[in-house]
């Protein structure tokens, strides 16, 4: 039977997720389906996890949303040529946070330090990918194919640029640093 603290954690998770997702919907960073998915996801991250899990998700989401608004007027034409847009739907929310959510649930069911480390890797990866796309599409030079080296139109999958690559490294480093700080703040062990 859940204790009062358990219920409070789930209610806090729901309230925090609703607040953040509602603000993102209002700012047009999320579609309605994206907002609903973010509320479910945020509630699970905090309710089944703690501030470590939720904080990393929040850092990914806020930083990526802010970057998607950076020079948005320059990206509008590009967004017409590829599927992802600045306003994320439920599919995009679950694509970026779904594997992390599975790790949170696995940790709640069968606690292992490994789940936390896998989670850090997953979130560093999705942050790197998102940051690379958001910054890379603003590069002055067109990207080059990672496979052939040929120039590609901006926004093409498999295209890399120096600004996008540097953004990817920065996004991954930010998640790594934040994970270290949040693990310490949450009282999680550094390693066994």
**pLDDT digits 0-9 by tens, 31-82:** 999 999 999 999 999 999 999 999 999 999 999 989 988 765 555 555 555 5
Which H/E stretch holds residue 159?
Answer: strand 159-160
Calpha distance 24→30 (Å, rounded): 6
Calpha distance 61→55 (Å, rounded): 10
Phi, psi torsion values for 30, nearest 5 degrees = -125, 145
Given the structure tokens 């039977």, which residue do they identify? 1
**Average pLDDT rounded to a whole number, residues 132-158:** 88
Q: What is the pTM (predicted TM-score) of this model?
A: 0.85
Give pLDDT, residue 74.
Answer: 55
Residue 191 has pLDDT above 90, yes or no: no
Give pLDDT, residue 192.
Answer: 42
Give pLDDT, residue 71.
Answer: 64
Give tens-digit pLDDT for 147-162.
998 998 887 888 899 9
């Amino acid at each position: 039977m859940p204790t009062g603290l358990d219920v409070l954690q789930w209610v806090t998770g729901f309230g925090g997720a609703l607040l953040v997702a509602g603000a993102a919907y209002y700012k047009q960073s999320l579609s309605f389906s994206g907002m609903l998915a973010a509320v479910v996801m945020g509630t699970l991250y905090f309710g089944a996890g703690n501030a470590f899990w939720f904080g990393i998700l929040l850092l990914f989401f806020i930083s990526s949303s802010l970057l998607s608004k950076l020079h948005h007027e320059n990206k509008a034409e590009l967004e017409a040529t590829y599927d992802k847009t600045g306003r994320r739907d439920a599919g995009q929310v679950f694509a970026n946070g779904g594997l992390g959510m599975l790790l949170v649930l696995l940790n709640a069911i069968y606690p292992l330090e490994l789940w936390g480390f896998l989670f850090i890797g997953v979130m560093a990866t999705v942050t790197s990918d998102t940051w690379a796309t958001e910054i890379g599409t603003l590069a002055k030079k067109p990207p080059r194919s990672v496979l052939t080296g040929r120039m590609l139109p901006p926004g093409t999958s498999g295209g890399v640029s120096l600004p996008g690559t540097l953004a990817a490294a920065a996004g991954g480093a930010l998640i790594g640093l934040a994970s270290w700080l949040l693990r310490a703040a949450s009282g999680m062990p550094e390693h066994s």
